[in-house]
Every structure is written in structure tokens, then in C-alpha cells.
A and B are shown apart, each in its own frame.
Chain A
Amino acid sequence: MTISVGLNCPACGGAIQVTEGDNVLNCGYCGSLLWVEGDTGVLTVAYRNMQDRDGVLRATERWWKKGFKARNLGQRGNLRECYPIYLPFWSTTTRVAGWICGYEERHYTDRNGNTRTERVPKEEMVLRDYRYTGIACDPGDLGIKYLRNTAGEASFADFESIPTFESTTSKDDMIESSKQSALHDAHRDADVPHVTFEKVTVIPKNIAQIYYPVWVVRYAYGERMYMVTVDGVTGEILSGRAPGDPLYQSLAVTGGTSVGGLIAAAGLVLGAAAEEPYFIIGGLFIGVVILGFTYLFFRHGSEIIEGDFKDKRATSPMDWIRSNLGGLRI
């Protein structure tokens, strides 16, 4: 069984260059227009690595000092390994064109306590090209799922010297998930709470594969091994694990119980005085939410996790909002 197929111009026999993802090409010798039948794959680009070992290690050390990580991480953190890899990502453009119509309800309460509801009609055009990226292999414990940066110098110059992770997920799965994300994001952007009519067309425009340089840093803290990944183009920290600090955990829950408890108490007192049940409910709610978030940090703050890890818990309201509302938008 042969696995190799020689590619030559059928008109003149000259050697030709097929570009991945392209079905049409010109013969460099006779200028014939040529058609490639079959799967030619996907247009692939690689970004040039712009970072060096020293810069990456310094970035890691700066990251150690930020946030609620162990205070002695700077002294006790021991950098062990630091190496670059190329990670494969899919990058898609999906066009959404359509209209979402409906209304928004606004409630007004007058002085006598009568509530009036007004319907404000809305018609929103959604017309946008949505861009998404998604990692094209199982990221394992690298904590990376999407590309934050999509600008860079395209070059295969470092391709031989940097280990390259192969793409092992289906491009058609990515196209399909991009269509769903685009439809979802179009609804969010249109912001019509009650939809009475919609007609939205979603068309995949293109897909490319991006090989992106990422530095992996492994460091020890005591007997434990932690890791950080650094963007090989921008030098920013992409993801990382770090030891937490019991002091910050204790401070968080002390602050959370006191502020949360006092807000709840204030709600009860003000609500009872003004005979306004909303104050009581609102005060209790805000108090419990503050308590909840500080509790999560207290319970799980012994390891600080940044990035798209599978075992990541929301330890701050911002993380929670990001993980539930954000996602793969660039």
C-alpha cells in the first residue's frame, strides 16, 4: 500500500505547490489554473515566538507577587523547567445576519404603590462577523482553551526547533460549535428580553489553524510542583497554578462574615422601620452573596488557579462572572 501521491502539473509535468486549505492554484511553470480534488486541509499559520527564557522566568516571578498567592512564593518558589511549545488552535469567522424583534418590559411604581408595566417594542438587526478560537487538541492540564491574542508575525521559522503539539480535534466540530456560539452571542448582543419574531442566518465564513507559541514553566514550592504558561507572542501569563496563603483565606472570611452580616442586619433594621419587605430581602441577599464568595475563597483559596483549568472553582465574583458569561469571545 502506498501512502504517497506525487503532485505535478497535469498540463506541463512541473512540480507544484499545493497550499493547505486551498483548492485552486497556478502552475509556476506554465501558468495553468489547477484544481485540487479531495481534502486539502485547512489554511495553517504559525506565529513567531517573541519571548526568551529569561523574559518568561521574569514574567513568572512578577506573576508570583500578584494577587492572593503565598507571600513567600518569591523566596521559596524554585523555578525548575522552562520550555516553549507550539499549541494548535482553530480560528473561525462566522457571519450572522438577521433580525430579532420583540419587546422589553419596564415596571413603574407610582406614589400609591400601583405598579404599571410598559412594553417597549424593540427591533434589533444582528449583522456581524464573529471570530472564535479554540484549542485543537486536548489541553490536558495546561489551562488553555482559547487564544486571547490573534495578532502576531506569521512565520514557520521556529517550527523545527520548538516541539509542536498536533491538532487532534475535528475542524468540522469547531465550525459547528462556532455556529452555535455565534447564534448565542447574536442573541446576547441584540438584547431583546421577550422575542416575538426572529429570522437569523448563520454562515461559516472561514476556518484556519494557528500554531501559537506558549512557554511552559514548572516550579516547586516545598515538595509541590506548580506550573505557569506564558504567551510566546505577548509575554503575558496565560494560565497558572500557585500556592495560596492561609492569611488571605482567613482575612477573606473575616471580612465576608462581618460585611455580609452587617449588611443583612442593616437590611432587616431599615426594612422593618420603613415597612418595606424589599429592603429586608435585598439586604439578606447581598449579605449572603458576599458571604458566599468569601466562603469559596476561604474553602478553596489554598491553591490559586488562573486560566481555563478543568478543576477551577470560582473564588472571586469576577471569576464567576467571567466563567459563566465570558468564554470564548475574543
Chain B
Amino acid sequence: MASMKCTKCGAPVEFDVGDKFVKCSYCSSQIFIDRSGAGFYYALPFAIGESEAVGIFRRWAGGSTRAKDLDKLAQISSLKKQYFPVYLFKRDVNGMEQIHVEPAASTTLPGLHSLKVPGGDLKIFDDKFDAGGAELIKPDIEMAPYLEQLPGTPKEQALVYFPIWRLDYVFEQRRYVVVISASSSEIFSGDFPARSSGAYMLVAGVGFLAFLGEGLLALASTALALGLMAITVVGVFVAANFVARRM
């Protein structure tokens, strides 16, 4: 919540990030909040704590395209709670609203260049805001150069602190990093150890061809074909089970 003075009676009036109109609780005047000329500081609260962040990483690391057992074998070397700054611009371009989001700090972390403003309960970032021990990454890119390049006229501009867990891990002597959005639990990753589809394709391909062949064989010798099919069913199931669990 931020506060301003009522234009009519001077009493303090509190307003929240999304408010367009507020009502003074003393004189019940309605006040319009004009954000076109001012710059605001917003922050999203951390909705995900440390142990949840690790759990979300493990869930992601156990995904089907990640290296087998990455969730168990990855060594987490560091986990940092950080606020990453992005600029949010609302512009009026020929009567149409456009929204632009630009990074406010230089970074090589995955996902943070192409950020949209993530969904979250935006709070006004001021002295009273509790960052909860998170490290604030200082904006090192100015807002002014962006403003000059953007089309149309301003409706609102803000610096938004986006809560992230930066997780570094080691797998087979290589270092990797993922960024976990602490607002929506989305995972941003660059390079990661991948799992080969080879064993899966092999089981499916061999099984299919075997049944195709046995189907044709059934013309010549139905009994033999049925017997082979029974063996193949068991074989494919055992192989598939092994691959799904271990490969």
C-alpha cells in the first residue's frame, strides 16, 4: 500500500498497485490516480520458500528430457534468494495500449532477458517493504534510454523487482544454473544435461516390427505366431519397464 493526500480534504488515502480510482475514507471524494508522469517501484512477494524451491527443482530435474536421475545426482552448490529488477512500461500508441518489459540489470542468467512481467500480487516497493532477506540486484541500466526509444505517450512506468531463486548445481563435473520464479514457480533453464530417447525408440521400434512380422507369420502358422506374440508381449513389457525405470 502507498499513501497520498486527498485532493479535497488532505487526509491520507491509501492505494494499491492496480487501483485506478480510490475513495477518501474521510470525505468520500473519489480520486483518480494519474501514473503517466511518475515512476513507481513495485515488488512481487516470495510465494515460494527455500525447501519448495529445491523440491520444484527436483521435480523439473526428474522430467522426461532431463538426464536420468538428475534429480538425485545433481549436487546443489548454491541457492540464492534474489530480487531481479525489470522495467514495465505502459504506453498509449494511437489510442491503443502497449506494454513493454525490459531488463533493468545486465545478466547472463537464463530466462531473464525475455521476461514478461510475471504474474503476482504486485506490492509497492518502499521503505516499509520487507524483502525477506533477499539480495537486491541493483539496476545498472537506466530507464531514460528506454523511454526515448519507446513508441507513443506514457501511461505508466515502473521498476518491478521480480523474486527468483538462483540455483547452481553440478552434474558429472559440469556446472549448470536454473532460475526459479518465486512467484509462479516457473523454471528458466539454459543448458541442462539431457536424456537420450534412443532406448525408448529402440523398445518401441523393435516391438512394433516384431508384432508386424508375427502378424504376417500368422498366415503360415497361426500357432507358432501366437506363441511368438506371447513371448514378445512379455519381452516388450519387461524391456519397457526397465527403460522407463532405469534409462
Contact = CB atoms under 8 A, between A and B. Distances in A.
> Do A and B associate with each other?
yes
B8 A261 contact: no
B222 interface: no
B55 A140 contact: no
A298 B240 contact: yes
B56 to A, nearest CB: 5
Interface stretch (B77-85, B126-134, B168-176, B182-190): B182-190
Nearest to A284: B212
A218 interface: yes
Say what secondary structure dominates the interface of chain A: mixed
Say what secondary structure dominates the interface of chain B: mixed
Nearest to B18: A166
A16 B28 CA distance: 9
A227 to B, nearest CB: 6
A246 B30 contact: no
Interface residues of A, number: 78
Nearest to A245: B244
Given A141-B181, A169-B99, A298-B200, A4 B55 contact: no
Contact of B212 (A6, A8, A264, A303): A264
Contact of B119 (A139, A250, A298): A139
Contacts of A139: 119, 184
A215 B186 CA distance: 17
Nearest to A86: B121
B25 interface: no
A140 B232 contact: no
A15 B119 contact: no
Interface in B17-65: 17-18, 20-21, 27-35, 37-38, 45, 52, 54-56, 58-59, 62-65
Interface string A291-311: 100110011111100000011
B244 A265 contact: no
B121 A224 contact: no
A105 interface: no
A223 B71 contact: yes
A44 B97 CA distance: 17
A302 B20 CA distance: 46
A167 B118 CA distance: 10
A15 B204 contact: no
17 contacts: A15-B29, A18-B30, A80-B52, A135-B119, A142-B119, A166-B120, A170-B90, A224-B59, A225-B54, A243-B62, A250-B237, A253-B240, A254-B240, A268-B216, A294-B204, A298-B200, A300-B65
Interface of B: 4-8, 13, 17-18, 20-21, 27-35, 37-38, 45, 52, 54-56, 58-59, 62-65, 71-72, 88, 90, 92, 96-99, 116-122, 155, 181, 183-187, 197, 200-201, 203-204, 207-216, 218-219, 229, 232-233, 236-237, 240-241, 244-245
Q: Which 10 A-B pairs have the closest CB atoms?
A: A140-B184, A265-B215, A261-B211, A225-B55, A257-B207, A6-B7, A137-B119, A246-B244, A250-B240, A141-B186
Interface of A: 1-8, 15-18, 20, 39-41, 80-81, 85, 87, 135, 137-142, 163-173, 218, 220, 222-227, 241, 243, 246-247, 249-251, 253-254, 256-258, 260-262, 264-266, 268-269, 287, 291, 294-295, 298-303, 310-311
